[in-house]
Structure 1
């Protein structure tokens, strides 16, 4: 198996807000509707999206007069975001269960892991 280079694999430390905003845009197909559902200004959603695309280094959405559509890189990123958000919901529900006195699995010890995502070539 060939060794990955920094150009092949990108690792980021992206804030939860950026992931929530990206997911809302993906589901709604527009920045304005995503902002309405998130109860924030459209300019804040747009700013987060531009920041995220700059960090990723590629556009995640194609812009059309009728709204936005995921690019190939956006599709890959969306699968990752959906997985991360599902994991967060599971973690939160287990935390609630632990606070309620129910038995939960013991947390793994050690340093946190970072995620790597391979984006398709442009």
Structure 2
């Protein structure tokens, strides 16, 4: 029996439905992959890397679905909200999302995810502190 709280996102569902061994194998052998889960196992394609024994439970649950398999590093990453202050400090210095991502070594999509998880407004909606009010 898996303990879902050890997993993040889709892998929690995979661990619960297919077992932790399948979830770990997916991240180790297919981490970062984006693919459509085949309807049956073959010795070709991404599922071949898992082998029939591990692939079949995954195929039984997810056949026909498009999946994004996270890397093993994703299980160790802190929740997005924990990096909000770090991201926001750079946004306050007028960095773009792309510049923040480059500075912190994360993806631009993850910058947006961090800000969204914290309930922050879109960067384009944020008031620039250097902007003077029209009505003052």
TM-score, L = length of structure 2: 0.30
Question: Of the two, which has the highest radius of gyration?
Answer: 2
Q: Considering fraction of residues, name the structure with more strand.
A: 1
Q: Which of 1 and 2 has higher RCO (CA within 8 Å, sep 6+)?
A: 1
